[in-house]
Amino acid sequence: MENSGVLLVISAPSGAGKLTLLNEVRARKVDQIVTTVSATTRPPRTGEQEGIDYYFLERSVFEARRDRGEFVEWAEVHGNLYGTLNDELDRCLDTGKDVILELDVQGMQNLRRQRDDVVSIFLMPPSLEELERRLRSRGTDDNEVIELRLKNARHEIAERHAFDYIVVNDKIESAASDMEAIIRAERCRAERQP
Ligand code: 5GP
């Protein structure tokens, strides 16, 4: 295992700024990080591309592949199925780079049952008030959707101690530095050394 990268799972309530943070970390560590592409039954949003943002699957196809054991983990999130294909994870691990998976809390727990080398990070919004402000300032969702996301966020935040690390996304630069520090420390773990 000494030549392999760190297997990192990041989970965050929607509005916590996960995408912005990951983009910042990727920019700082270009060529050192790969991100798995998940499969989902959710329809593509405008601008999303097959094989880049997600592998978009019909529900029947997803379920058939799941039943054949092709997923290392899967979960139902907001009524849609999401999962990581074994082949996709292997492809990323084979690069020898650090591998990041963006999963919900159940996905992190399912993956941890399969593998003992998972390092998990929960990304916290600075406060629920700030999360609400960010969700409303997007201006794309109606009140009902925002209320649902806030309710889900409270549930997810209550589970944060199931993770190895908690990073607070107050300022993007310091949150990205925290993530880099976690990756560096994990790479130095004694059991990873020859
Ligand atoms: P969205 O539909 O906004 O792209 O993603 C919704 C949720 O699905 C996010 O919380 C995200 O972390 C989760 N998700 C995305 N891909 C996967 C996956 O492969 N497995 C699991 N368990 N959750 C995922």
> Tokens representing 38?
């998940």
Pocket of ligand 1 (CB under 6 A): 38, 42, 73, 75, 77, 82-84, 102-104, 106-107
* Residue nearest to ligand 1 atom 23, measured at CA: 103
Are 142 and 162 part of one and the same domain? yes
Task: CATH number of the domain at 92, please.
Answer: 3.30.63.10
Residue 64 belongs to some domain of the structure: yes
Query: 102 exposed, middle or buried (CB, 10 Å; 0-12, 13-18, 19+)?
Result: buried
Within-domain flag for 117: yes
For the record, the structure tokens of 191 come out as 């059991």
Task: Assess whether 59 and 143 both reside in one domain.
Answer: no
Please choose from 77, 135, 155 the residue to mutate so as to test ligand 1's pocket, defined by most ligand atoms within 8 A of CB. 77
105 and 155 in a common domain: yes
Domain presence at residue 108: yes
Q: Which of 63, 80, 96 is the last residue of a domain?
A: 96
Residue 57 structure tokens: 């699957």
pLDDT along the chain (194 residues), means of 10: 80 89 90 95 93 97 98 92 97 95 95 95 93 83 84 93 96 95 93 85
Domains in the chain: how many in total?
A: 2
CA 60, CA 21: separation in Å to the nearest integer? Answer: 34
Closest CA to 133 of 156, 148, 150: 150
Task: Tell me, yes or no, whether 115 and 156 share the same domain.
Answer: yes
Q: What pLDDT is stored for residue 2 in this prediction? A: 47
State which residues form the domain around 43: 36-96
Max Cα separation, the chain? 54
**CA 104–ligand 1 middle distance (angstroms):** 6
Q: Where does a domain end: 54, 78, 96?
A: 96
The reply to whether 127 and 182 lie within a common domain is yes
What residues are paired with 54 via a beta bridge? 50
Choose the final residue of a domain: 74, 96, 118.
96
Question: Can you give the pTM of this predicted structure?
Answer: 0.92
pLDDT given for residue 52 in this prediction: 95
**Ramachandran class of 22: left when φ > 0, alpha when ψ lies in -120 to 50, beta otherwise:** alpha
